[in-house]
Each structure stands twice: as C-alpha cells, then as structure tokens.
Chain A
Amino acid sequence: MIYDMEYETLPREALEAIQLRRLQTTLQRVYATVPFYRRRFDEVGFKPSDLRSLEDLRRVPFTTKQDLRDNYPYGLFAVPMENVVRIHASSGTTGKPTVVGYTARDIETWATLMARSLSAAGATRGDIIHNAYGYGLFTGGLGVHYGAEKLGASVIPISGGNTKRQIMIMKDFGATILTCTPSYALHLAEVAHEMGVDFKDLKFKAGLFGAEPWSEKMREEIERKLHLSALDIYGLSEVIGPGVAVECLEAKAGLHIFEDHFIPEIIDPNTGEVLPPGSTGELVFTSITKEAFPVIRYRTRDITSLNTEPCLCGRTFVRMNRVSGRSDDMLIIRGVNVFPSQIESVLMEIQGVEPHYQLVVDREDNLDKLTVLVEVGESAFSDKVKTLQDLEKLITKNIKEYLGVSAKVKLVEPKTIARSEGKAVRVIDNRKL
C-alpha cells in the first residue's frame, strides 16, 4: 500500500529536481542561521550558491555526532525556540544526549513519513496499532504514534514494559499491527507462550520492527512465533526519528529511503570519499526539508549499501540494505547506545580501578546481556570478599546510572583481556544476528 502515491513513485529525474531545489534551500538556510555550518562551509570555501547539481554535495563537510555534542543542547537549531514545538534526545552518551528539535511542520513531515511507513506494512485507517516503542525523549514511541494518527488508524500507546499486561491488551483490544524493537517482539512471544496465549489466535497481520540491528534469521523467527509479517524500519533522531526508511510488504528486500526528504550517500568511513553505487560503506544523510534541526551530511556510522534496482512495490526510492554493522565501536544494547569509552570513564572515576576492561555482549532469551570484565589491579584488590563484591556493585550501579543499561560486572585477573598490537580488544559481540 502506497500512502503518498505522487511522491513515492516519482520518476528519478523529477525526484532529483525536487532534491536539488530542497537541498539548495536547506544549505542557504543553515548557512544563514547556524553559525556552526557557516564556519564549516567557510573553512572549505563553499558557498551554498556553489551547489548546482546533487554531485556538488560532495564538497560540503560532514557533520558528526561529536559536532552535535559540541553544540549541545540547541547550538545546531536553525529556528528560534519559539518555533520549536518538540524536543527529543538520543538515548544518552557520556552524560550529554544528542538533542534535536522539531517545528510544527517538522512534526507534520515526520507524521507523514511514519504514515507512509505504516502503509508500507499494510496498515490502513481500519487498523489497530499496538505501539510498544518507548514513549519519551526517545523518538520511537511518539514517532509511530503521530504517524498512526496521521494515517487515521487507531493507536494503542502502550509503550514498553509490563509485558504480561501487553499480552492481555493485545488479546482483548484486537490489535492488527505491532510496532516495537525486534528483540522485544521475541520477548513478547515468549511471555505469551508462558501465559498460554498463542499469537495464532491474535489478530496481528504485520509488524514494524526497528531501533536495533536484526537479521533475516530473526525475521523468520518473529514471523513464525508471532504469526505476522515482520518488516524492518530505520531511523535515527538526528535525521528525524523512525520513518527515514522502511521495507515494503511486497518485496521485503531492503528499506526504501524517503528520498524526497533525505539524501543518502555511502562513503568510505576511513577516507570520507563517496563510493560508487552498490558499494558497502557508511551511510550519510542530508535532510532537505527539516526546519528546526537540519543535518548536513550527517555520518550515521551505520554500515550498509544502497540498491537502486526497481522494486516490486512500485516505489522509486532507493533501498538501503540491512545495517550490517557500525563504523565506530558503538554498541546498541537493548536500544541504548553504548560506547566502550563511556564504560572507561565510569571505571576511571572509581578509585583504584584501572581502565582495563572488556565488554561482552550476548543475546539470551532474545534480550541483550552486557557483561563488563574489569581487571583487578593491586590498588583495587582486597583480601576481603566483601570489599571486592562492593566494588562490583559500585561499578554496576555507576554504569546503570551514567549509561542507563544494566550490566553484569565481573572482576578478572590482570592481563586476561587480550591485547593485540598493544591495543586491548574492547568489545566481544556474541550476538548472532
């Protein structure tokens, strides 16, 4: 089902003409209103009026997550606060989250993109959407919510957690579309099974799952256990939130990027060079309709490739393949971004603890499990068991407090963490995706 027939099926030429016009406008606007972008453009001698073709975008400098942090909280906003009607933030980093803002029109755009996404999953006005994405600063919950309302469907704003109650509500309210993270979908299946509820007896026909990487194997498992069509949805708060790209029910092969609002590029993460079509590299986005928080060549750090083949569904937008990894060492644990450096700073704050650590991630019962191995040096060591257990508890507590994730802390002997070329291997990801 195509929500925006006109835009979603635009011939390539017409689409590119729209992109170019919108890109020019956006570059002019950020140059005029955001000192950061003016400085960046000036540094490389780029004037927005220099942009004559989409190819010229390559001359524009990248924006990174660090730039967003450096301009915390409102430094990259391109409109006065009186025009900002909503603020969201990424799940948090070293104390400072990434803050993004929306004008009323941005919210409208976002709702439209989510309405398109829900339609791509087959949702219509007659559907009941069980939205188990978290509501709050995280864009997942409210993003889906507004899209569902825009579509005219009925939305159940259940948010995350309280799983048994969710199962009861699913059963009683007769929801037909499920939206949540893929790992939570599998968790729902398990809890339902324990409760003696069979998804076969529920009314779900499709689900949009995103906010964390997942695999084809996981799709099969979700579809088998939940008796619905499982579709991948992609988005990030820096660009807009969920609904940057979505799979279609017809093909289930790659996510259509809503190119009338975002220009994707694939670059070599090391050199920054734009790669030829079909290459695998880091995904970069430029938003071309955002008012409050436009991003110019934002490096997502997600590794993927683009597919320009025509799609069964009739949409002409390019498709991005599943995200296969990250160009940095960021981990996504149960939807929360975790950088090894954040764990390091937590450890450094604890007296006597040396920053020799390793993160081990496993997926148990479909939930991510983070174990932090910490080497015990002489200054942290004690001959008393209680002292060491208190140390484990303190590290666990601080990680939870600063990063928002629960981790199991395990003290290990010095030098047990493998060091290759003098550099420790910081992350062991055992999740089979």
Chain B
Amino acid sequence: MRVEQISVFLENKAGRLAEVTRVLSEAGVNIRALSLADTSDFGILRLIVNDNEKAKEALKANGFTVGKTDVVAVEVEDRPGGLHRILDILRKAGINVEYMYAFVQQSGDNAVIIFRFDNLDEAVRVLTDNGVTVINGSKVYTM
C-alpha cells in the first residue's frame, strides 16, 4: 500500500530545479507528481516518478542529495467535501499529516492525493477501515 517517493535537496538558487528536470528528462524518467517545499535557504523537491531507481541513480550521479520516503496515495472523491471526508477520518484517529500534495492524474472519477504520515501503517489501516481507497505503488507509477 506504499508509494515510494524520492526527495531532492535543492539550494535556493536559480537554475537548480531546471537541473533536476534536465537530469530526469535525459534519463527518460517521467514525473507523475511533485511538490516543492521551500525556505529562504533551501528547498526540498518531492517526486513520484515512473522509475525510482533510474531517477535516483541519475540524480546522484549529478551530485544531488537524494532521499527516499514511503508515502500513501489516496483516492479522493472529486466533489465538494471529498478531501474533508478523508482529513476528518484522520483527525478522529489522531493521525497527523506531515505534508500532502495532489497528483496530476485522476483515477476514474476521483482525484489522487499523496500523504506523508509519520505512522504510515496506522494511517493506511484507518483509511481502509473507513472505506477509503488507497492506491498501490505499482499502480501509481504507471497511472
């Protein structure tokens, strides 16, 4: 039920993001979803790609610091209150969302949101117990 996300450390200076996309493009890696967290000094780029190993290898070879984290991809009904329903389930279970970002693609009629939790297993259990669809990594990479 896990989706592997890679994260890249970026110094806050012009051209660094373009350098990442250049490396990935030359490696033939397709970006499925991404989010960029930034501070005044540095940024963290989080990526879901179609080929983690290839992406990691290419980035490392180009001198980037690359991390790997398991996240959860959740189907969210594409209508008012869809996201709220999920967050409310998590709130009631006392699960903290570290960060989240939206997937580019839709899954049928649903949107897909990526969640980062400290307690991933517990979060997945609570969500599935409440009838929320959690999407498998293998499916996410090729959606």
Contacts and interface: CB of A to CB of B under 8 A. Distances in A.
Interface of A: 376-378, 381-385, 388-389, 392, 410-416
Nearest to A415: B63
Given A383-B5, A383-B67, A414-B63, 7 more contacts: A381-B9, A381-B65, A383-B7, A384-B44, A388-B42, A388-B44, A389-B39
Given A384-B98, A414-B63, A414-B65, A376 B9 contact: yes
B10 interface: yes
A382 B64 CA distance: 13
Given A384-B99, A385-B39, A388-B44, A412 B67 contact: no
Contact of A413 (B7, B65, B116): B65
B63 A383 contact: no
A385 B12 CA distance: 13
- Residues of B in contact with A, size category: 20 to 34
29 contacts: A377-B65, A381-B7, A381-B66, A381-B67, A382-B7, A382-B44, A382-B67, A383-B44, A383-B46, A383-B69, A383-B116, A384-B98, A385-B38, A385-B44, A388-B42, A389-B39, A392-B41, A410-B41, A410-B42, A411-B9, A411-B41, A412-B11, A413-B9, A413-B10, A413-B11, A413-B63, A413-B65, A414-B64, A415-B63
Interface in B63-79: 63-67, 69
Nearest to A382: B67
A414 B9 CA distance: 9
Contacts of B14: none
B39 A378 contact: no
Nearest to B118: A384
B37 A385 contact: yes
Contacts of A376: 9, 42, 65
Interface of B: 5, 7, 9-11, 16, 37-39, 41-42, 44, 46, 63-67, 69, 98-99, 116
A383 B37 CA distance: 9
B60 to A, nearest CB: 9
Nearest to B99: A384
Determine chain A's interface SS by DSSP, over half rule. loop
Nearest to B46: A383
A276 B44 CA distance: 58
Contacts of B66: 378, 381
A253 B109 CA distance: 84
A226 B27 CA distance: 63
Contacts of A415: 63
Contacts of B10: 413
A373 to B, nearest CB: 10
A370 to B, nearest CB: 15
A378 B65 contact: yes
What 8 pairs across the A-B complex have the smallest Cβ distances? A383-B7, A383-B69, A381-B65, A381-B67, A385-B37, A413-B11, A415-B63, A376-B9
A415 B64 CA distance: 9
Contacts of B98: 384
Contacts of A381: 7, 9, 65-67
Contacts of A384: 44, 98-99, 116
A383 B66 CA distance: 9
Contacts of B37: 385
Nearest to B66: A378
Contact of B64 (A383, A389, A411, A413): A413
A383 B5 CA distance: 9
Contacts of B99: 384
Contacts of A377: 65
Most-contacted residue by chain A among B10, B11, B38 (CB, 10 A): B11
Most buried by A among B5, B65, B98: B65
A378 B64 CA distance: 9
A381 B42 CA distance: 12
Contacts of A383: 5, 7, 44, 46, 67, 69, 116
Contacts of B7: 381-383
B58 to A, nearest CB: 15
Q: Tell which of A376, A381, A392, A415 has the most Cβ of chain B within 10 Å.
A: A381
Nearest to B6: A383
B113 to A, nearest CB: 16
A289 B39 CA distance: 58
A416 B65 contact: no
A382 to B, nearest CB: 7
A388 B10 CA distance: 12
A411 B98 CA distance: 21
Nearest to A377: B65
